[in-house]
Amino acid sequence: METFGDILELLKPLEASFLGPFIISLVCNSIPFVSLPYLLVIIGLAFKYVTLQDRILLILSSALGATLGKVLIYFIGKGFSKLLSQRSRKNLELFNKIAKKSLALAIFVFAALPLPDDVLYLPLGLTGFSLIIYFLSVFLGKLFLKSVAVFYGSLLTSLSEELGYQVIPVFVVISIVFSYYIISIDWSKIVEVHMEGGLKASVRCLMLELGLANKKIAKNLKNLFT
């Protein structure tokens, strides 16, 4: 974490030109299976950038940086494909053709949520999945994620100015609850259901997962107060 703090210090002079959020998003998304809390930086920068134009540029620069980081992950997977046998490569290419449409949605979902997406993205490089579809799906997902982060930071800024900074603990609790839901839901199961049964089946699966998460929360609260 000290290294992450050092990166932030180095990028401070670049914040005004939006290179800071671009580079930190690029770096934090190009390290396989390593999760760095860079979204907190994007939320924090929403305090600084107060105009609509600046916030749009913040969203675009960080989304593009994150997407290019995931493109690097794709090429890491593609590099490993050379180590596969011809038979294994043909099987992966067949899977790629069968699941092409479903995978585009899965890529978007994993990019739009703070999930361990490298589990999905590395194999896509192995299969030779379309780089254009991959790039667009990741970019749209990251665009959504960064928009939510900046909106969250902007809302927190506005409420802090109107109601005072005592509102911050409320947002911390909301963030914890939201994070709990994200972690509790079996997203890989939802993607698998979508690939087999389509959108309606995946929505039903999501509702079931949310129900299970609610039961876990209720059980934990009951244990806490008894």
Higher pLDDT, residue 15 or 2: 15
The pTM for the full model equals 0.68
Give the model's pLDDT for residue 65: 94
Closest CA to 107 of 80, 145, 60: 145
Contact indicator for 109, 153 with CB cutoff of 8 Å = no
Contact indicator for 70, 112 with CB cutoff of 8 Å = no
Its domain, for residue 131, covers: 2-165
Q: In this structure, is residue 110 part of a structural domain? A: yes
Q: In this structure, is residue 205 part of a structural domain? A: no
Q: In this structure, is residue 218 part of a structural domain? A: no
Q: In this structure, is residue 38 part of a structural domain? A: yes
Average pLDDT on 214-222 reads 77
Q: In this structure, is residue 46 part of a structural domain? A: yes
What's the token pair of residue 198?
A: 């389509």
Count of domains for the chain: 1
pLDDT tens sequence across 118-137: 877 888 887 778 899 999 99
pLDDT tens sequence across 66-106: 999 999 999 988 877 666 555 545 545 555 554 555 678 88
Average pLDDT on 22-44 reads 81
Q: Which residues contact 36 (CB under 8 A, 6 or more apart)?
A: 4, 28
Percent of the chain residues topping a pLDDT of 90:
15
pLDDT tens sequence across 157-206: 666 666 666 666 766 676 667 667 766 777 767 767 776 777 788 788 88
Higher pLDDT, residue 5 or 145: 145
Give the model's pLDDT for residue 138: 94
Q: In this structure, is residue 199 part of a structural domain? A: no
Q: In this structure, is residue 189 part of a structural domain? A: no
Q: In this structure, is residue 85 part of a structural domain? A: yes
Give the model's pLDDT for residue 86: 57
